[in-house]
Amino acid sequence: MFDLTATIVTYKNELPILRQTIESLNNAFPKVQIVIFDNSLDKEYFSLLKSELCFKNVLFIDSKENKGFGAGHNMAENFCNESKYHLILNPDVIVNKNTLYQIIDYMNANTRIGVISPKILNSDLTFQYSNKRYPTLIALILRRIFKSDDTNIPYFKRKLDYYLLKDIDHAKDFDPPLLSGCFMVFQREVFRAISGFDENFFLYFEDFDICLRVKEHGYRVSYLSSASCIHLWERGNSYKTKHAYNLVKSMIIFYKKWGLKLT
């Protein structure tokens, strides 16, 4: 039985960045088993994945149908060996040394934690506000208008800062309402008990939804300040027109399931 398994869902991601992700994960936790589930439906790209990233502990699975981010991770988890903990990782995250050992030690000492995330940093090592409060409609709209997460309009700034938990000291451990899906470590039995991600979400909000379901099952959603990773995410990518449909659709599904909060 492994202490840790990990899944990464790809969709034509840049191979040099994905290589960095895998290498950093292996350096951070050498005994991890990694399953990469490719949603691109591109045989040439899948062949490149296997030929250029041929690590001994990595299994590549070619999706037959792209059902989205959450469904990809659910399918990939089925190919993992038995483990106590399970990592959901984006293909553009650099895992810092000791991060996973710190997280596992912390979870071993706090057995009611169902899912946990470390401190997430930008590529310039500034703090990335990835933990969130419940997404009100005004907060989501403001996030799309003010892409830098900042504004000089006092009312809007208060709403954004509150949504992004800027009133909480992230140098300390705490239990946030919601975590980002770019780096989540689950108790494997909890992930299975809640049947993984809700596959009605193709992209966006599946991470918020799974956090709420973890808490519904009586487990904690936690943040560990001493552990960290670097997320090479560029926010501009999430605003391309082709993603707008999935964003709006997932938002509607989320609010129908959990309730709409305007402000």
Helix boundaries (H) for 79-227: 99-109, 137-145, 154-163, 188-193, 206-216
Within a domain: residue 149?
Answer: no
pLDDT of residue 189: 98
CA distance 47 to 185: 29
Within a domain: residue 244?
Answer: no
In three-state secondary structure terms, 163 is helix
Within a domain: residue 247?
Answer: no
Within a domain: residue 241?
Answer: no
In three-state secondary structure terms, 9 is strand
pLDDT of residue 250: 97
pLDDT of residue 148: 61
Within a domain: residue 55?
Answer: yes
Within a domain: residue 37?
Answer: yes
Within a domain: residue 253?
Answer: no
- What averages of pLDDT result for each successive group of 10 residues across the chain (263 residues)? 92 97 97 97 97 96 97 98 98 97 98 98 96 96 78 89 96 98 98 98 97 98 98 60 85 98 95
* pLDDT tens readout for residues 126-149: 999 999 999 999 999 998 887 666
Within a domain: residue 29?
Answer: yes
In three-state secondary structure terms, 102 is helix
Q: Among 175, 174, 194, 176, which residue's Cα sits nearest to residue 186?
A: 194
pLDDT of residue 239: 44
CA distance 171 to 162: 17
pLDDT of residue 131: 97
SS (H, E, C) 37-92: EECCCCHHHHHHHHHHCCCCCEEEEECCCCCCHHHHHHHHHHCCCCEEEEEEECCC
Domain count, the chain: 1
| C-beta of residue 32 within 8 angstroms of C-beta of residue 102 | no
Domain that holds residue 30: 2-121+174-234
pLDDT of residue 237: 46
| C-beta of residue 61 within 8 angstroms of C-beta of residue 36 | yes
What distances in angstroms separate CA 103 from CA 52, 161, 198, 204, one per listed residue? Answer: 30, 27, 25, 25
Place of tokens 């996030």: 143
Q: Among 263, 174, 182, 160, which residue's Cα sits nearest to residue 229?
A: 182
* pLDDT tens readout for residues 58-106: 999 999 999 999 999 999 999 999 999 999 999 999 999 999 999 999 9
CATH of the domain at 60: 3.90.550.10
pLDDT of residue 143: 87
pLDDT of residue 153: 87
What distances in angstroms separate CA 3 from CA 55, 186, 189, one per listed residue? Answer: 19, 12, 12
Dig out the tokens for 182 from the structure. Answer: 């770019």
Buried b / exposed e along 192-228 (16+ C-beta atoms within 10 A): eebebbbbbbbbbbbbbbbbbbbbeeebebbbbeebb
